[in-house]
Structure 1
Amino acid sequence: SIINTNRKTSKPQPRGTNTINALFNKLRAFFNWCLDNEKTTNRPFKNYESTPDLYGTPIYITIEERNQILNTDLSHRPQLAIQRDIFIFQCLIGCRVGDLYKMTSSNVINSAIEYIPRKTKEERSATTRVPLNDTAKGLLQQYKGKDKEGRIFPFISEQKYNEAIKEIFRLSDITRSVTVINPTTREEEKRPINEIASSHLARRTFVGNLYKKVKDPNLVGALSGHKEGSRAFARYRDIDEEMKAELIKMLD
């Protein structure tokens, strides 16, 4: 099997402020719709002010680490090897997992992937086009026709995919310690990167490595599907400051 599926029933855990904010924003939108359509006169969010979301510096892997994962021998875990290949492909096109799971051969056009990001579709229906490098083309060819539903890869559930990614990192010896924000306590803590690895880390890997090279959020955003002026890139500028500090130290 891909991962150990034996689980114990657990009690609900405390949720972080960012998660609560996201849920409340959806609930507020629902009540606003009810008000606009005269379904209710209640205004439960009239005086509600949410706590600002808190994000740490984006965590992602280097190109060298990505290649280390790609070259790790997983022949003894063939199902896990499939998920590794999917993760690598996601690192190479930078899309959200929800968009990735909907892709079929029709999204492959003239050596590029074309899709309309689901998250921003209602705000703008611009097509995102990402040219494919040789590795990405090779992976597509390797799995061509393998999915019964006609998708570009034989996907599993998103939850199992995320669990598989953590195991892939461990087997690839990508276990370095990173500093993250605990979503519940909002305090910094050290965690092995394999324990926090997920499909979204593939997207951050694409964005982070490109941003380090070109420093142009609009150009990178055109490839990642971020809308223009996205606040997400402000967090990548923190990484840029670290690079500048390292360069200045070279003058000592």
Structure 2
Amino acid sequence: MFTYSNGYIYFSMYCDDDRARVAIGEKIDKDNYAAGQFPQAAKTKMIRIEHVVNEHVNYCRAVKSLLLKRDVEDKVNEVLGKQKKGKAGNFMDDWNLMIEGMRSGDILIKKTKKRYSPGTIERYMDNAKRMSKYIEDKLMIARYEKVNEKWVNGLYVWANQQNYAKNTTALLMAQFRAFLTYTYDEGRHRNEIFKKSIMYFSREEVDAVALTEDEISRVYNLNLEGPKERARDIFVFGCYVGLRVEDLNRINNYKLVNDHFEFLTDKSDKKVKIPMHWMARKIYQKYNSKLPVYGCGSSLGHHLSDICKRAEINEPVLIVSTKGGVTSGNYYAKYELVSPHTMRRTLATNAVLAGIPDREVMLITGHSSVDSFSRYVKISDEMKLQLLKSRSWFKDPLQTEPSAHDGK
């Protein structure tokens, strides 16, 4: 909680948004600091600061609120008798307050009136750090009235210099735009730059993968035990019910009703009915209707690459991506690209390949628009080739399919 620098004692603590650091106003020799021999005045301040900060930390944990650098530094400065240093118009303070409101539920999603998911809040926190770094690196002024086209262009240039992926920059701009819109509606500023085209940065189509029926079968038939067996089972189950990563911790809300599963989606609050696949039914029954629960995608994803590698899902896949403004392509073994997101994409892709109309598949995946649904359908070049070859237009009418007795 305390550190030494250039002959002075500093309070130091990592918060949810940044590191809080305050000089407590006490000089000390480096050797005395290392030996723990503090002047009495320094000891008194350190004890009081530690007590006040720990009280604040415990309060934040109790109410599930963000531990913010600004608040912690204010607490320390109060103990030291310092005046708060106001930052009039500093929008990063408002950004952090907005995140705190999302976390507490005081700020809801405008369209659905539902709370923000932990994943969304985490991404807003990540982008708050990126924005703060841009402001610090380029000595920009973080005031609403200073954000003009030159300011925003500078952000794009800086993001490329950081070698950010195109979609990372797109999300940063989308959340910055959402923040400026929210604070405008709240009366914090009258800058309408968020309405201009410069604030819109297109996303890059993600080169994700979906497993074929044969690949799912190879995964299902692996001889596994312990954590890998449970991860495999949930993954295969998810591939046949279109499980969303956000619903992993609610997986036991899937209920087997006669010949189908029913589930209330967290995102749309709609009841989805999913025809029962025999593999999904066997897995469901294997656990007596109580499937293993994963708190997040990373805890499941930790096992998937190794599982799919064992199943020899190693088809080379070309991934094209843009980083730092430069587009390049690299080949990866397919198993390296499998993640919990693959489950939903696999259901959508295999259902479309089976000839089920998009609108009917969307009833299962919960997508409301064809555009958003189409991004989940990942048909590889080999799948497309085999699909085209199966069409009668490509067949020679004078040739017949070889029979089982040909060549004998």
**Partner residue of 1:108?**
255
Q: Give the TM-score of the pair, scaled to structure 2.
A: 0.50
One-letter amino acid matched to 1:42 = N
Q: Secondary structure at the match of 1:182?
A: strand
**Partner residue of 1:190?**
331
* Residue 210 of structure 1 pairs with residue 210 of structure 2: no
Alignment counterpart, residue 219 of structure 1, candidates 357, 360, 363: 360
Of structures 1 and 2, the one with the larger relative CO (CA 8 A, separation 6+) is: 1
1:158-187 per-residue CA deviation (whole Å, 9 max, x = no partner) reads 213112111111111111111222253443
Counterparts in 2 of 1:37 and 1:16: CA distance versus 1, 3 Å = same
* Residue 168 of structure 1 pairs with residue 299 of structure 2: no
For 2:342 and 2:221, how far apart are their aligned partners in 1?
18
Q: Secondary structure at the match of 1:102?
A: helix
Shift in Å, 1:100: 3.1
User: What's the RMSD between the two structures over aligned residues?
Assistant: 2.9
For 1:235 and 1:251, how far apart are their aligned partners in 2?
34
Contact 2:244 2:344 (8 Å CA) reproduced: yes
1:67-92 per-residue CA deviation (whole Å, 9 max, x = no partner) reads 000001113xx211110111000001
One-letter amino acid matched to 1:95 = L
One-letter amino acid matched to 2:278 = D
* Residue 143 of structure 1 pairs with residue 287 of structure 2: yes
Counterparts in 2 of 1:219 and 1:176: CA distance versus 1, 3 Å = same
Contact 1:57 1:238 (8 Å CA) reproduced: no
**Partner residue of 1:60?**
210
Q: Give the TM-score of the pair, scaled to structure 1.
A: 0.78
Which runs of 5 or more structure 1 residues have no equivalent in the other structure?
A: 1-11, 147-151
- By percentage of residues, which structure has more helix? 2
Contact 2:213 2:350 (8 Å CA) reproduced: yes
Counterparts in 2 of 1:39 and 1:18: CA distance versus 1, 3 Å = same
Counterparts in 2 of 1:141 and 1:159: CA distance versus 1, 3 Å = same
Counterparts in 2 of 1:21 and 1:192: CA distance versus 1, 3 Å = same
Q: Secondary structure at the match of 2:294?
A: coil
Alignment counterpart, residue 181 of structure 1, candidates 313, 320, 344: 320
- By percentage of residues, which structure has more strand? 2
How many residues end up aligned between the 2 structures?
Answer: 229
1:24-59 per-residue CA deviation (whole Å, 9 max, x = no partner) reads 222312221111121222345343243322215652
Alignment counterpart, residue 23 of structure 1, candidates 168, 172, 178: 172
Which runs of 5 or more structure 2 residues have no equivalent in the other structure?
A: 1-129, 131-161, 398-408
Q: Secondary structure at the match of 2:205?
A: coil
Alignment counterpart, residue 182 of structure 2, candidates 25, 30, 33: 33
Counterparts in 2 of 1:197 and 1:28: CA distance versus 1, 3 Å = same
**Partner residue of 2:236?**
88
Alignment of 1:222-237 (within 5 A): 222-233=363-374, 236=377
